[in-house]
Amino acid sequence: MDENLIDLDFKPELEPPPEDGPTDKWKTRNKELILADLVDILDRSGRTGNKSKLLIDFVNRERKATTAIGEGIAVPHIRTMQAKELIVGVARSPEGFEFGSPDDIPVRLFFIMAAPPYDDSLYLKVFKALSENLQYEQFREELLNAESPYDVIRIFRNYEG
């Protein structure tokens, strides 16, 4: 994990809701804007290929099924030729965003992962470890209260098993 890939004040610029209330089209557009900012985080690593293609890969993955898992968490993840190696980014939003969560709770913690298609072993190991840790309320609370990117890394290390 890299401190440069952690944004603890994640605030993508979203479109305001239409006057007659949120629509599916508006929700989809804002989800794509959120994904674009998350891809920007991954791009800071210098280990991505074409950023536009990477975003398209994430958008297409999200169209298949939401990566929001509930409890204010989303884990957008893909295997793509646009990742030179496994990359993990973390974003935390103070207020949270609509992201198609099954429990309708706004997502405040985003964990974005990209790996090359041939890197199944490490990708699955990291995804499994993250999923297991996210079950613990204390883990989630510590991440929500982290004061610096270093704190996030320390929290992950404390939960490594």
- For residues 79-96, give the mean pLDDT: 96
Domain of residue 79, CATH code: 3.40.930.10
Condensed to tens digits (0 to 9), the pLDDT of residues 44-56 reads 999 999 999 999 9
- The pLDDT of residue 22: 74
Q: Is residue 92 part of a domain?
A: yes
- The residue range of the domain holding 129 is 3-11+21-159
Q: Is residue 16 part of a domain?
A: no
Q: Which residues contact 10 (CB under 8 A, 6 or more apart)?
A: 37, 91, 92, 93, 110
pTM, to two decimals: 0.94
- The pLDDT of residue 161: 62
Condensed to tens digits (0 to 9), the pLDDT of residues 120-149 reads 888 899 999 999 999 999 999 999 999 999
- The pLDDT of residue 51: 97
Alpha-carbon dihedral sign for residues 42, 110, 151, 12 = positive
Q: Is residue 120 part of a domain?
A: yes
Domain count, the chain: 1
The secondary structure element, H or E, covering residue 159 is: helix 149-159
Q: Is residue 128 part of a domain?
A: yes
pLDDT at 85 over 90: yes
- 10 is written with which tokens? 């994640």
Which phi and psi (to 5°) does residue 70 adopt? 100, 175
Q: Is residue 117 part of a domain?
A: yes
- 4 is written with which tokens? 């440069």
